[in-house]
Copies of this chain bind each other. A is one copy, B any other.
Amino acid sequence: MNKQLLFVKRPQGEADASTWSLVTTPTPEIEEGQFLVKQHYVSLDPAMRGWMNDARSYIAPMEIGSVMRAGSVGEVVASKNPKFKVGQYVAGTGGVQQYAVTDGKGFYPVDPKLAPLPTYIGSLGMPGMTAFFGIQEVGKIKAGDIVVVSGAAGAVGSIVGQIAKIKGCHVVGIAGGADKCKYVVDELGFDACIDYKNEDIKARLKEECPKGLDVYFDNVGGEILDAVLGRLRLHARIVICGAISQYNNKEAVKGPSNYLSLLVNRASMTGIVVFDWADRYKEGAEQLGIWMAQGKIKSREDIYEGIENFPQTYNRLFSGDKMGKLVLKVIEE
């Protein structure tokens, strides 16, 4: 049997238990060209909240009644597709369910001997690719840059900051809570971390970036974005990766009041979507893999168990009650 989490109601504001429905269906049969993935882990990402809205975006909105969209990693347990063999491990967008049938579109092989499976939906998956290409291709970091990263303890931000350190930048993280900040500095090697839940962001930014900053990688939007805009240096680059502070708004998004700092400083603000670098994921994963093997990049997953616990696990994305990449184990052993 296959436990599946269906998306059954578009939320207004925060998603809650009524957003999804857990159903049990027969494990599906596969047709010619398809294969069956026994999913071990699914990825939980802030972007999920956007997929729930019935609005034009970089990807089609989820349809009511469909399996909750999610990145996933697991094992091929049946195959009528010559490119994917039984026993092979694969990652893709299998959704929140225990078994996924696919024709292989968007799936690619992964090697559990090289890295633990959850890493393939974290630092070596979409979050890692987002960080790798976003901070380099759009942030255009170079040695000596002052780089600020919000969501610094999170799946994307933690990698962004570590790459910036490798590239010779001075890196300041922003995260929620003393524990996360300690992790960001002590474990990930950022130069400093601002605790937005307990510190005055503006004052601390001034302290940590007395000469301003060159690059800001934004995962959160809202007041933090405004505070950072107030400290841009000439020709600064802001990478807009997300805006988690705004995703559950029932009212309009808070636009950045300080956006005219872009004019004063001839700075730019550019949005990114990881799919644009799909043809270079291999390059990104290889380089990240090398850095991980060298100990230059640390990857941390926060793993919860049980598909039935998806809703409360999902909430951790927004409460911040997690450390590193949020992952749910959906396999039952």
Contacts and interface: CB of A to CB of B under 8 A. Distances in A.
A263 interface: yes
A270 B266 contact: yes
A267 B262 contact: no
A273 B269 contact: no
Contacts of A246: 260
A253 interface: yes
A264 B56 contact: yes
A262 B269 CA distance: 8
A57 interface: yes
Chain A: interface size category: 20 to 34
A265 interface: yes
A272 interface: yes
Interface stretch (A89-97, A161-169, A235-243): A235-243
A301 to B, nearest CB: 25
A183 interface: no
Nearest to A256: B255
A260 B273 contact: no
Contact of A257 (B240, B255, B260): B255
Question: Of residues A260, A261, A262, which shows the largest number of chain B Cβ atoms within 10 Å of its Cβ?
Answer: A260
Given A252-B257, A257-B254, A268 B266 contact: no
A226 interface: yes
Contacts of A33: none
B269 A259 contact: yes
A240 B252 contact: no
Given A253-B257, A259-B259, A271 B276 contact: no
A49 to B, nearest CB: 12
Given A241-B263, A254-B257, A264-B271, 6 more contacts: A226-B255, A240-B262, A253-B257, A253-B259, A268-B269, A269-B270
